[in-house]
Amino acid sequence: MRDPRLEAARRGLEDDHLALNLDVAPTIVAAAGLPVPAGMQGRDRGPPYLRRRAAAWRDEFFFEHPTVTSKTRIPSSQGVVRRDWKYIEWPEFDYIQLFDMKRDPGELRSLAGEPAHAARQAALRQRLAAWRQRAR
């Protein structure tokens, strides 16, 4: 991301904070020197890379995808994504997926329902419920 607010000596460095497409608009608004409207979704991406010390930033995000046309075309889903784990619910099929993103970045093997991951699955289910409540 090219940002005119970044000092020349720090340009070209990589930033690995979780970024979402909805962060683009508030970042542009802030880079233009304007206040980001309170109702705008997303966050100005500047603070994590403009400050020499890391700014507090998101460590997870919520996503939801509604049904498009019919559940046989693109079914609805909701989930919580972290760097290390991803939890997804497919409500129309009563199906859950849990992925270890460090060991399985291609999401090839769901660990949902496995006893060894029951506590993590329950914790992420609770996080999803909290996100759903916030999104209302």
Question: Domain residues of the chain, as ranges?
Answer: 15-50, 60-135
- Beta partners for 113? none
Mean pLDDT per segment of 10 residues, for the chain of length 136 residues? 80 83 93 92 86 79 86 88 97 96 97 98 97 86
Nearest partner of 107 among 77, 85, 78, 82, judged by Cα: 85
Q: Reply yes or no on domain 60-135 having CATH 3.30.1120.10.
A: yes
Alpha helices in the chain (DSSP H): 24-31, 46-50, 118-135
pTM of the predicted model, to two decimals?
0.80
- The whole-number pLDDT of residue 111 equals 98
Instruction: Let me know: does 93 contact 72? Beta carbons within 8 Å.
Output: no
- The whole-number pLDDT of residue 134 equals 86
Contacts from 24-29 at CB under 8 Å and sequence distance 24+? 27/1, 27/3
- The whole-number pLDDT of residue 54 equals 67
